[in-house]
A and B are shown apart, each in its own frame.
Chain A
Amino acid sequence: MNTNIQEIKDLCIGFKSQKGEQISILRNITTNIRKGETVGIVGESGSGKSTLALAMMGYIKHGLFTTGGECLFKSKDLLSLNNKELEDIRGRKIAMIPQNAGQALTPNLKIGYQIEEALKLHTDFNKVEREKKISELLNQVRLPSPSIMALRYPHELSGGQQQRVAVAMALAGNPELLLLDEPTTGLDVTTQAHVLELLKDIAKETGTSMVYVSHDLGAIAQVCDRVIVMYAGEIVLEGPVRKILKEPIHPYTYGLLKSIPKLSLSGLPDSMPGSQPQPGNIGSGCSFYDRCNFSSDECKVKVPELEYLSDIDTSVRCFNHSELISKTSEQKITNDLKNKITIDEILDLKDVSISYAKQGIIDQFLNKVTDTNPTVKDINININKGETIALVGESGSGKSTILKSIAGLLKTKDGYIKFDKEKLLSGDLKKRNSEDLRSIQLIFQNPDESLNPNHTVEQILSQPLKLYFGLTGSKLKTSIAELLEKVRLGAFYMSRYPRQLSGGEKQRIAVARAFAARPDIILCDEVTSALDVSVQAAVLDLLQKLKEELGTTYVFVSHDLAVVKAISDRVAVLYQGRLCEIGPSKDVYQFPSHPYTEVLIGAVLEPDPDIRPKLVAEDIVEEKPPEIGCSFQGRCPRIIGDKCRNETPPWQIGDNGNAIRCHINIEELKIQQS
């Protein structure tokens, strides 16, 4: 019996370059999607995973064309069908769930109406049946009170709820194959864990086959039965999820897994050198040859074929896969942090609160305080010279807001920020002197936005050098070359524009620009979240090396608990702009901890199918912090009644040295959590 729902044979997709050369994006993809199974497609950006997923529904982006092979859905080649025939398949047989549901839903139509549209298109239900089905679908995606939800507009829902609606719409046509393109990438950790749980349940309930495209091996481990690993437009490894994630027999997958920071490990993950070759720039041998630690001479000249190993039901594209396991077991390196932390206090945040609310003219005149409930409140953090302190929390936790006010981009409402023990930092950028400005530098999340696209690397790096040190001429050039050297880039990068660099190289330039000022403190705002995992590991490694060399203090903001654990000495957990817990990172990750920290740690996805996230709290999103009581009262799984709602919880010091702000006695927390 043919159990394959989709068969892809020798698929090649490419484009024509400006010089007229044909350049391949996908090369000889052959794979099958079986009925009822969930297949994960993993790879770094540019590996062709999205192109493959789109080809699976017969869609090829403008400018690309197939250069060979076929994509059979139930023995019909999708790539040769005309639009009319494709319309019958898309939505009814194959449905797609987009990455950003907030953008995929029409903003000015109600949720119910949008689902009904999908039903009208894909089913023959009458009006009454449709309404019934809408409730059913909303119920199926675990949205509370479907009848009310159907009357809402997309902006009235949270990101997780929007993603659920997108799932409901995709399910409307009762599809046999569901394509999901990074469906949880933009979501908070707790929400992501809940959505993945939902997807898994739906796969079980409906028996739909799913193709799950993601760069996140943690998410793949949770939902998938089988995994396809892509590299430079080829399948390099394909097999059952346990086999792939626990005993990878391809060096790329091995390296990828090693470069993911994990809660169970201490210190920085190993990074993989180099970057993925660009399309059209692939050598004569194995595409991974340049970055491979296990290569032999054969790999340089000959392209390995995808070899099927029937005993473990795995396909692998590597000459040396049989020796890999024995070789990798020898490789054990620990990268523990060697930070020279002094007892000198460099930054002191005292009772800081920050408000985005603006006083009206009349209130200003009457000197009336309008915002009694500021976005960020009561922040007390002391930062010592040389340490890395991380601020963790979900979106809206105020972590970036605090960073901005340290940098002088936002005024504090109450409290003060002291630099170097005695210098009070002004909340107004214009009032800070050049020396204070130089001492505190920022690195941003997305290097595409933080580097001026019309400047060369030389111009970018010369800005701080000219501003703070007045360098010109050959001195300037030497300094730039030294900086590039520091971030492991050659001097020939000077004349390049940001668009000619890869994501990791761009972030290195951003790091170099921050270090150009020879700062004492560097504020890192989610600096690795826009990067691929292997690049992330390399950038973290670079940041750590530079710090060990120069003794810089980092304030590191991230939503990723595993990254934070890898790089920080101390962690501060924030919820709704209030501190929940603060302490040495090795202790914060151990119990007892604040219930919110517990929720966050529980939701972390490990790239291991046998470690399931613990979902302890609902993933509702709160718009505003509560006026009185504990900031986490709305979602706390361990709430003990009115005390939490009415009184601000006290600080308690655990035996490990972490401070927790909770009404529950710390000893009791320990018993409850163990």
Chain B
Amino acid sequence: MENSKNTFHENPKSSLEKVLDIISTMASKPSGFIGLAILIFHVALAITSPWFAPYDYKAINPTLMLNAPSSEFWFGTDSLGRDVFTRTILGGRTALTITFFGSIIALLWGGLLGIFCGLVGGRIDDVVMRIVDAFLSIPWILAMLLIVSLLGTTTQVLIPALGFFYGKGIVRVARAATHDVIAKDFIISAKARGHSNLSIIWNEILPNVRDAILVEGAMRWSWMLLGFSSLSFLGFGVSPPTPDWGLMISNARGLMSFAWWAVIAPIVGLSSLIIGINLTADAFAKALGIDRSTKAPV
């Protein structure tokens, strides 16, 4: 009977209104609000930090090595005497940019391939999915290390490589979502009218699986961020002296017992961003009504 809550003669909404609606629904729950706030804070910080960073991030000063936090250096200094606060607020920029574009690539190829497999089915679907399974069984970090050591650690290599490895999972989600709608009569109707596969994917399937894929993409973003930071931590992500949380943690972890400040700040930065993205993705799924973990109807 809950269907009767439908708004029978509501006025149609523009796309902008719909997006605002979704965001306000997300922010109406505490977890969604916190997630959105953290995410917006990080994005804003990444955009504006170069203008208010108090020091030069690459200025090495041996006299200031491993200073504890003070009014002059809020988060202290690292083993080369660089200001940790400056490096922390700048440290998310590279990671955010690379993983953001990486996620978009993952979404595009994973989503489209998944929908295509779900639509055509049969032998093509079988073969493609077995290949995807095979790739899923390879530890991605080994493969990434191989690619990066062969082709270098430039952005042009990292974005597509990350996008490729994180898109595999999206293929499966998109395919499953497509299977949900593929047997419905409106798809059969479109087939019977003689629409092309591309037109069916674009007009009939995509609007119905878009939400599921977007949520999956948002989750992938946070995993990719962790993955990218792991690469940096291993020395295969950002090259010094560019500030990056993974690299900062790697450099400072040996000194943790007596210079904890140099490692705590990037850890807080990285984990808060990941938590923020996760909470936002959860709230996004709930706002779109595709999260099944809500209270059972009975």
Contact = CB atoms under 8 A, between A and B. Distances in A.
Interface of A: 15, 17-18, 23, 25, 46, 51, 61-64, 278-279, 281, 407-409, 429, 432, 434, 437-438, 441-442, 444-446, 449-456, 459, 463-464, 467-468, 495-497, 499-500, 513, 517
A452 B4 contact: no
Nearest to B9: A500
A278 to B, nearest CB: 5
A64 B2 CA distance: 8
21 contacts: A15-B2, A18-B5, A23-B4, A25-B1, A61-B297, A62-B298, A407-B192, A429-B194, A437-B192, A438-B194, A444-B185, A450-B186, A452-B203, A455-B203, A459-B203, A463-B190, A467-B194, A467-B199, A500-B6, A500-B8, A513-B189
A658 B192 CA distance: 33
Contacts of B298: 61-62
Interface of B: 1-2, 4-10, 12, 184-186, 188-195, 199, 203-204, 207-208, 295-298
A496 B12 contact: yes
A499 B6 contact: yes
B192 A408 contact: yes
Contact of A429 (B185, B192, B204): B192
Contacts of A279: 4
A404 to B, nearest CB: 9
Contacts of B199: 467
B195 A467 contact: yes
A459 B190 CA distance: 13
Contact of B193 (A15, A46, A64, A463): A463
B189 to A, nearest CB: 6
Nearest to A436: B194
Contacts of A432: 194
Contacts of B208: 452-454
Given A449-B184, A463-B193, A467-B194, A15 B204 contact: no
Given A437-B194, A463-B203, A456 B12 contact: yes
A592 to B, nearest CB: 38
A444 B189 contact: yes
Given A25-B1, A437-B192, A452-B204, 15 more contacts: A62-B2, A62-B295, A62-B296, A62-B298, A407-B192, A432-B194, A450-B184, A450-B189, A451-B186, A455-B203, A467-B194, A495-B12, A496-B12, A500-B8, A500-B10
A15 B188 contact: no
Contacts of B194: 429, 432, 434, 437-438, 467
Which of A15, A446, A449, A499: most chain B Cβ within 10 A? A449
A467 B203 CA distance: 12
A409 B191 contact: yes
B125 to A, nearest CB: 16
A450 B203 CA distance: 14
Nearest to B186: A452
A459 B204 CA distance: 10
Contact of B185 (A15, A446, A463, A495): A446
Contact of A437 (B6, B9, B193): B193
Nearest to A443: B189
Contacts of A434: 194
B297 A409 contact: no
Nearest to A278: B8
A15 B4 CA distance: 9
Nearest to B11: A495
A31 to B, nearest CB: 20
A454 B4 contact: no
Contacts of A463: 190, 193, 195, 203
A467 B9 CA distance: 30
